[in-house]
Structure 1
Amino acid sequence: MKKDISLIGVPMDLGQNRRGVDMGPSAMRYAGVVERLEALHYELDDLGDIDISRPDRYRKDDGTNLRNLLEVAEANAKLAEVVDEVVREDKFPLVLGGDHSIAIGTLAGVAKHYQNLGVIWYDAHADLNTGETSPSGNIHGMPLAVSLGIGHEKLTGIGGYEPKIRPENIVIIGARSLDEGEKKLIREKGIKIYTMHEIDRLGMSTVMEETIHYLQKQTDGVHLSLDLDGLDPHDAPGVGTPVIGGLSYRESHLAMEMLAEANIVTSAEFVEVNPILDEKNKTASIAVGLMGSLFGEKLL
């Protein structure tokens, strides 16, 4: 991986309705992300946090089923510009969330630099909802659909182009909570997905070997979007939408270690750390540990 990393915080909690996830970037900094990566001999530039405009109250925008649409779109447009500049400077963008709606901006900034960007979506959820299929109207359940060009134009058009990614270049890992509209879209688009059923049967080693081989064949870069609720809530309690029966701490480290060995990840984000719901910053510390493994940290 590139030895120069730009760290970008996005204190966003407008894509859902549970307060506290806006403190995720601070929690991960407090857990030592800068020191962890510098100890691995990376040159790390912390660009601080994106400024997030806040509505007077959490709301659904008139005429849509989307919560805080204008503010979420504005924040992601800002993020896309920052990420775009980081990639232009030939640095690795490492984005800290914030809720998962920030992936809209991250991918908008990254994908324009690749012909066939691959995406590993490490998450309990597929995030393939739209305003029509979402039970909640929370945009953090929509970023993967938006990046495919499916959804509200204020979101799909961020960065001035769409779609950002192609369905055949996506691998979802760890899914165990899918809405009916998402299941339909996965089948229609032929999106590769490893639910917990497949992971339990195959084992994480095989899942990652297959994922790496699949993406190496057809992509010229890979973005890792890691939602901490992909892990089981026993290991990562500080998330807004926990789903039991998830990936273990050790399985997740193995996944990151295998990605480091394959050297295919060109950008990454770690999202949905909510310190208000956490236990002694446990989830933020796990996130930082996974970043260490992703960037080549070894036991020996």
Structure 2
Amino acid sequence: MIKKISIVGVPMDLGQMRRGVDMGPSAIRYAGVVERLEKLGYEIKDIGDIEIGAADRGHDSSNNLRNLKAVAEGNERLAKKIDGIIQQNRFPLVLGGDHSIAIGTLAGVAKHYKELGVIWYDAHGDLNTADTSPSGNIHGMPLAASLGYGHPSLTEIGKYSPKIKPENVVVIGARDLDDGEKEFIKENNIKVYTMHEIDRLGMAQVMEQTIDYLKNRTDGVHLSLDLDGLDPNDAPGVGTPVLGGISYRESHLAMEMLAESHLITSAEFVEINPILDRENQTAKVAVALMGSLFGEKLL
């Protein structure tokens, strides 16, 4: 893994309706992310936050896409920033913000790889489009948009589409999928480890299979980790908590195994909402998981 990391915050809360997730990057910094990673021997450059515009006025309900213009513009800015980080041969570490920011992250990352793999660590599939979304919230659409499905303002960020291929995606931790997403997964044959598989196989085998699946077919792997992938008891400060999630310790094991694999070339940690949190617990969990991802060991 590259020993130089650039951290960029994306205070985006327009991809959904609950205020507060825009404070996620600040909460993660306050939880000591820079100090944690510097202690592991990384050179850290925190380049601050992407500017996010105001919510769309006179929201056009006809397209079922909440705050489309502001979300798209924020993601365009993020994509350019990520592109620049990779050109400097630095590892991009993105702090969210809601999960709609993955559209910009992947737009900036994928242009540097022929076969970018994605690990989507999340309770949700985020595979909706305007046609299938019950809410119109864009944070439920970033994986679909990155695969080339959805409104052109989202799919064409970075001026190319698609960013990734369905066969290079692995979803881990899914337990709340809309009907349209279930159809999408089946039609595109996307590899998904639901909580059923995690319970049945154990996290070690899920990660072994994921690593084996991706290592020979990809030339880089992006980790998109939504804190609601974890159980709400361990990560309470998220906007869309779903009971029965991945445990804190299972998540550390997953990150430790990814560290040992040397597969991960970019990462984002999203959906931390300090307003819904308890004493910044969820941000502290995120930082601890980053520690494991970047090689921190118990002994």
Q: Which residue of 1 aligns with 2:105?
A: 106
How far apart, in 2, do the equivalents of 1:196 and 1:235 lie? Answer: 16
Indicate the SS of the match to 1:224.
Answer: strand
Q: CA RMSD in A?
A: 0.8
How far apart, in 2, do the equivalents of 1:239 and 1:264 lie? Answer: 27
Indicate the SS of the match to 1:241.
Answer: coil
Give the aligned length: 299
Q: Which residue of 1 aligns with 2:4?
A: 4
Say whether the 8 Å CA contact 2:56–2:69 is kept in structure 1.
Answer: no
Q: Which residue of 1 aligns with 2:287?
A: 288
1:167-186 deviation digits (Å, cap 9, x = unpaired):
00000000000000000000
How far apart, in 2, do the equivalents of 1:248 and 1:56 lie? Answer: 37
How far apart, in 1, do the equivalents of 2:211 and 2:284 lie? Answer: 26
Q: Which residue of 2 aligns with 1:17?
A: 17
How far apart, in 2, do the equivalents of 1:61 and 1:105 lie? Answer: 22
Structure 2 counterpart of 1:20, one-letter code: G
Structure 2 counterpart of 1:31, one-letter code: A
How far apart, in 2, do the equivalents of 1:33 and 1:55 lie? Answer: 29
Once the two structures are TM-superposed, the CA of residue 217 in structure 1 deviates from its matched residue by 1.3
* Ranges in structure 1 where 5+ consecutive residues have no aligned partner: none
How far apart, in 2, do the equivalents of 1:276 and 1:151 lie? Answer: 31
Q: Which residue of 2 aligns with 1:89?
A: 88
Indicate the SS of the match to 1:24.
Answer: helix
Structure 2 counterpart of 1:40, one-letter code: L
Q: Which residue of 1 aligns with 2:241?
A: 242
Q: Which residue of 2 aligns with 1:52?
A: 52
Indicate the SS of the match to 2:238.
Answer: coil
Structure 2 counterpart of 1:41, one-letter code: G
Indicate the SS of the match to 1:218.
Answer: coil
Cα distance 1:208–1:56, how it changes in 2: closer, same or farther (>3 A)? closer
Say whether the 8 Å CA contact 2:56–2:70 is kept in structure 1.
Answer: no
Indicate the SS of the match to 2:95.
Answer: strand
Matches within 5 A, 1:131-142: 131-142=130-141
Once the two structures are TM-superposed, the CA of residue 56 in structure 1 deviates from its matched residue by 6.4
1:219-271 deviation digits (Å, cap 9, x = unpaired):
00000000000000000000000000000000000000000000100000000
Say whether the 8 Å CA contact 1:240–1:277 is kept in structure 2.
Answer: yes
Matches within 5 A, 1:201-212: 201-212=200-211
Indicate the SS of the match to 1:284.
Answer: helix
Once the two structures are TM-superposed, the CA of residue 63 in structure 1 deviates from its matched residue by 3.0
Matches within 5 A, 1:162-177: 162-177=161-176
Say whether the 8 Å CA contact 1:60–1:137 is kept in structure 2.
Answer: no
Q: Which residue of 2 aligns with 1:153?
A: 152
How far apart, in 1, do the equivalents of 2:225 and 2:209 lie? Answer: 18
* Ranges in structure 2 where 5+ consecutive residues have no aligned partner: none
How far apart, in 2, do the equivalents of 1:234 and 1:259 lie? Answer: 24
TM-score of the aligned structures, taking structure 2 as reference length: 0.99
Matches within 5 A, 1:259-270: 259-270=258-269
Q: Which residue of 2 aligns with 1:273?
A: 272
Structure 2 counterpart of 1:55, one-letter code: A
How far apart, in 1, do the equivalents of 2:127 and 2:21 lie? Answer: 21
**Consecutive aligned runs of 4 or more in structure 1 exceeding 6 Å deviation:** none
